[in-house]
Structure 1
């Protein structure tokens, strides 16, 4: 039974997950206090590092897409893509950040509008613009560039070089095959598994908070307490197990396609039922504001806004950079697995540009509608005490629209399917890593890791809810960020070496063709222009020699 796993990866990763989740469940208050204390140290010491690192990842992704390496195929040179473009995009969204888009779609822009980032001032219009630009920063190019870094390195190693599906092999050009196969490679994969489990658990925790809020909103339950959330995690994890056992080509693909269609229907319905013209104008204007300020936003560390600024930075930007990096092993492996046959340029464009544009549109519709509603006199999406409860904002917004009950039901279904696809995709990726890169790991271990993700989500939920979930994501991202730096260096080295070989091969081929063409041309020219004169010269010489010989005879 255990012969299919990689012992140096499977057992250490499983032990870490079991111990951490067990402590969180057994000692929720103490775990919550410990996480809060560690979070302060990490944010205070490494927040600037996260900001600088993510900026570098954006530059690396753009460089790879526009560089001379863009024509290299992630597979054999004549290989066709495994999945069609629509299926590929749907799986990218389902695995990438689906739950977060629904959870924060209306809540985050509204939060930044009503409680601006420290240092941001102005009238309502200026605050709204600043809010949308900040949201675009958190969810746009920077987030997907993190996925490009890991996904591209892995896709090249897996599909071009025929390596197993494992994070370690993305570092082979930098570390060498011997180190990658040994303990050093085991450590890399263990870090990737722990980060993946924590990242997926964070998303699952956000998802059940919103599902429970939705069920209360439509009147199914009276209160969204922790018992309900724990029950939802258990129930939906069971659905994820059914999906992950069926594999990528069936359950995961079908659920992803269905959810993409459902999300599109929801987005169009909200756009048509809400302030349509305002939202479209706001989308274009917010896009312009974001593009004009993206450089300053990228490197903003809230250095001049005191403790309030640092607290805001920790709760939002640093959390997002940590969350995306903790998800990077999972999403990187998954998008590498489904990207066989794409070129480097297609991969970067597909993963970086298209999802970013659709994400911007999503936040423009949900966030723009929420801000518009809040700006209208006599309307509010806030709680009775004036606070914002993130999981309630979207349902509060839908209650004021036509067909609000139907849209609330669609939202619950959306989050549930995103929950399932995140869990089953994450479980499959973790199982691949724990099985030594096996593309089709055994079903029992898929079930095990899906259960582990649900267990960690329960533990973090009991240990402090959203704060504990955010802290877990930030902490697990720190060690993996070093791995990502190595992947950047390794990917560049590998692509540069192949491009150099390609140039040599093309140069050799051109020389051979030139030699062949020049040689034939010289032969033809010789026959046409020199053969007859040479023949006449030879005849003349022979005739003169013969005449001299006759004269010398007596």
Structure 2
């Protein structure tokens, strides 16, 4: 993601100015930028987690596993229900009268051209996650479908695999992001508030949004961002480690090797922050997007092109048909389904929720001047189309190769998510080039992602500062790398396959509090929109017209028309003189 877009551009300063046609909350208090309470509490919590992992990794692993099981068993239904609620909520907002409310002044034009806006939305939909799961997830569902759905390896399993993957990567995750993005954009550009998650809660908490209640919300946002970003960085380390092993550069990689990879890339991020080469990282990130498209085009051409083209409409139809079933799955009285949900759907919902402060601020920042209807349409549809095409190419190719000769699974028939993409590329020419390119892509995603996420945590630590101080950004970048390393260390086994369990367990547990925060964001945003000047004027207009019609019907027996005429208003200038007497 572009760091300029997230918060380093001077254009965002206009958010603090008066907004014509919209009410403005009182200015933020002047004073030191660093919120000592928020930063101290979250920093101590992050360091305590790292220390626990270093001193007693088995104890932390046991606690994480126990907590994850409790969350899945007792609140899994809440994740499933609320994720679908977000989809319904944002679509309803876009279709309702609130959809015409602009995220800015009444007459404000979009800050970015539509083409640029879509391009940046595309960049938000790409990253380590798509690189890691592009082949691995559809292939996993094909080889081992969700319980009670289809026979493994059958044509029906292929349809279920693609529909399930799209369920995890299209409307639901982006509706989660849209809730946060809408709330932040509306508060910042329409109401003139600071870019804090707590500022969204002004309609609910009032002045307490600046007190302990608001600070607690910002702390939860920091923790969610920290662990969500760490999970993504952990996936990146797993894939880089798999690439090193696949290319024969090392015999095998365990926990120490994974920690070494994370440490090296974290140092690279810290050096980039200290040397001030943010523009260089942005430049590399933009190149990364192009290279990702190059790899996708290569697989599309070298792989089963016709099958991929056929899979696009088929996957859309299967997704629409199976959506009600997929959106209502829970582990009630079904141990197999509960286990599957903990590794897939609920882990994904928790992962997306943990990323909402980060991605929410990103899409809010680039959407100034858009209407709510335009925002929802862009945020839901553009990344969803990108995901559809990405998984059709990589997932379709993976399923085709596996159906042909079973070349993508391990000896026991299972799918190793870390190696899945490399096994696919091994079936095509230029494998030495493409596998190295994948590792380079993931490494740059790692560095630029840590940079961008750290800016968001810095903003939350410094009272919504548009440009947080460098030491705070560096601290959160280093903390993210350390937490990612610990999340991998607490895995059940000393190998790449087992390391994924540590990421899933911690991410699921930490996201639960912020799930409740996001429900509050929906309520608070709705209260704000009901009192928006545009809506109040529309209501007043309807009221006046209805009154005029009633009066015309009563006085003229229904034979009347409404006309307009100029009204001369005498200007009355009153000068108030204030006399100050010296006593």
Normalising by the residue count of structure 2, what TM-score does the alignment of the two structures yield?
0.84
CA shift at 1:97, angstroms? Answer: 5.6
What is the aligned counterpart of 2:136 among 93, 98, 107?
107
Query: Could you tell me how far apart the structure 1 residues matched to 2:299 and 2:348 are?
Result: 26
Distance 1:467 1:165, change over 3 A: same
Query: Could you tell me how far apart the structure 2 residues matched to 1:410 and 1:478 are?
Result: 36
Matches within 5 A, 1:439-450: 439-450=466-477
Residue 43 of structure 1 is matched in structure 2 by: 72
CA shift at 1:90, angstroms? Answer: 4.8
Query: Could you tell me how far apart the structure 2 residues matched to 1:255 and 1:165 are?
Result: 27
The answer to whether 1:296 aligns with 2:325 is: yes
Query: Could you tell me how far apart the structure 2 residues matched to 1:171 and 1:352 are?
Result: 24
Distance 1:91 1:446, change over 3 A: farther
Contact 1:201 1:456 in 2 (8 A): yes
Residue deviations 1:278-337 (CA, integer Å, cap 9, x gap)? 111012111111012212211121446x21121111111111111111111221122222
Query: Could you tell me how far apart the structure 1 residues matched to 2:128 and 2:270 are?
Result: 18
Distance 1:405 1:509, change over 3 A: farther
CA shift at 1:230, angstroms? Answer: 1.4
Residue 459 of structure 1 is matched in structure 2 by: 486
CA shift at 1:34, angstroms? Answer: 1.2
The answer to whether 1:479 aligns with 2:513 is: yes
Distance 1:432 1:295, change over 3 A: same
5+ residue gaps, structure 1, are: 521-554
Residue 394 of structure 2 is matched in structure 1 by: 366
Query: Could you tell me how far apart the structure 1 residues matched to 2:158 and 2:247 are?
Result: 30
Residue 536 of structure 2 is matched in structure 1 by: 501
Residue 342 of structure 1 is matched in structure 2 by: 370
Residue 495 of structure 2 is matched in structure 1 by: none
Residue deviations 1:120-141 (CA, integer Å, cap 9, x gap)? 1247110110111111111110
The answer to whether 1:313 aligns with 2:341 is: yes
Contact 1:244 1:251 in 2 (8 A): no
Query: Could you tell me how far apart the structure 2 residues matched to 1:227 and 1:88 are?
Result: 41
Residue deviations 1:164-194 (CA, integer Å, cap 9, x gap)? 1100011112221x11011000000001101
Distance 1:415 1:93, change over 3 A: farther
Matches within 5 A, 1:125-164: 125-164=155-194
Contact 1:398 1:405 in 2 (8 A): no
CA shift at 1:410, angstroms? Answer: 2.0
Query: Could you tell me how far apart the structure 1 residues matched to 2:439 and 2:105 are?
Result: 42
Query: Could you tell me how far apart the structure 2 residues matched to 1:507 and 1:241 are?
Result: 57
Contact 1:245 1:446 in 2 (8 A): no
Distance 1:86 1:450, change over 3 A: farther
The answer to whether 1:220 aligns with 2:249 is: yes
Secondary structure, in 3 states, of the residue corresponding to 1:4?
A: coil
Aligned length: 515
Matches within 5 A, 1:159-174: 159-174=189-204
What is the aligned counterpart of 1:194 among 211, 223, 238?
223
Contact 1:94 1:422 in 2 (8 A): no
Matches within 5 A, 1:400-411: 400-411=427-438
Distance 1:273 1:88, change over 3 A: same
Moved more, 183-192 or 405-414: 405-414
Secondary structure, in 3 states, of the residue corresponding to 2:355?
A: helix
Report which of the two structures shows the higher radius of gyration computed on alpha carbons. Answer: 1
Higher helix residue share: 1
Query: Could you tell me how far apart the structure 2 residues matched to 1:506 and 1:416 are?
Result: 56
Matches within 5 A, 1:250-289: 250-251=279-280, 253-289=282-318
Distance 1:125 1:247, change over 3 A: farther
